[in-house]
Amino acid sequence: MTPVAALPLPKYHQIYLVLREQLAEGRFATGLPGELALAGQFGVARITVRKALGQLAAEGLIERAPGRGTVPRRTSSSAAAAPGKHPVGARPAGRAQLTGLLENIVTMGLATKVRVLACETVPASVAVAEALKLTPGTPVQKAQRVRSTREGPLSLITTHVPAALAQGFGRRELAKKPILILLEEAGVRIGGAVQTISACLADAAAARHLDVRVGSALLAVTRLIHDTRGRPVQWLHGLYRPDRYQYEMQLSRVGSIDAKVWVSKALTAQFH
């Protein structure tokens, strides 16, 4: 049981914030856990969970129906947050082409220790299928790993790879080599990546694996790797401790002052 972080916010509000983020990520498509289950997950009294759920219901994010339990209500904002969906003419905030960064990602993989939590072949969910341009239900390899430095856990990484590309490696190989190297050894020619960096709050599972308190701030990274033909070959979702991971971009201006266009000249990821 992981206690809620001792932050200046009331406990119910901390739980509300975590659940709100999970709802936005589509984590409860089939319904939220019951009050008792949530109380055990967050290590609080049932009345505290009830107050957090009440706030979510008041904002129209969930619906508590007799016989159905607690279910999310789809809103325009959640629809806009779906992977790959952006308003026409709008550029996704926080997205950047990661030319030249793949070598750095591999270096980080070689310089850290990894513990494989799970590795299995599962049907692709709608979100995973959309990201990898597959039909929902297509077999994909889902792996979850914790990377650590000498100071302790650094990141909790979940990856999805089309099963056809992951036939040559599994749990044992993932514990020894970065997945990009394994993909290249399987004949995949890595071409580049698109990455999104945002922030989120640690839920109970992330808090346990990263040795932080529930409700702690984490860096959330979503990375889509594609081959030289533009075919998606890996979809990654990572949670990083901000006190052990730093992401740096060097920018240079292109065009006149009026253009105000900045391009990335070099990108690095530092960890300690």
Structural domains present in the chain: 11-80 (1.10.10.10), 95-271 (3.40.1410.10)
Query: In three state form, how does the secondary structure of 130-151 look?
Result: HHHCCCCCCEEEEEEEEEEECC
Condensed to tens digits (0 to 9), the pLDDT of residues 223-261 reads 999 998 999 999 999 999 988 877 666 666 666 656 556
Average the pLDDT over each of 7-16, 140-149, 188-197 and give the range with the smallest value: 7-16
204/249 Cα distance (integer angstroms): 31
Structure confidence at residue 254 (pLDDT): 64
Largest CA distance in the chain: 62
Tokens of 73: 């209500």
Tokens of 94: 């926080």
Average pLDDT over residues 105-111: 53
Question: Counting Cβ atoms within 10 Å, is residue 258 exposed (0-12), middle (13-18) or buried (19+)?
Answer: exposed
Residue 97 predicted with pLDDT over 60: no
Tokens of 236: 């990654």
Number of H helices, E strands in the chain: 9, 11
Residue 57 predicted with pLDDT over 50: yes
Average pLDDT over residues 84-108: 40
Residue 68 predicted with pLDDT over 90: no
Tokens of 151: 């100071």
Residue 175 predicted with pLDDT over 80: yes
Q: Tokens 């299995």, residue?
A: 120
Contact 241, 217 (CB under 8 A): no
Confidence of residue 82 (pLDDT cuts 50, 70, 90): very low
Distance of alpha carbon 83 from the chain centroid:
11
Structure confidence at residue 141 (pLDDT): 97
Q: What percent of the chain has pLDDT over 70?
A: 73
- Helix, strand, coil percent content, the chain, rounded in steps of 5: 30, 35, 35
Condensed to tens digits (0 to 9), the pLDDT of residues 153-170 reads 989 999 999 999 999 999
Q: Tokens 């979809």, residue?
A: 235
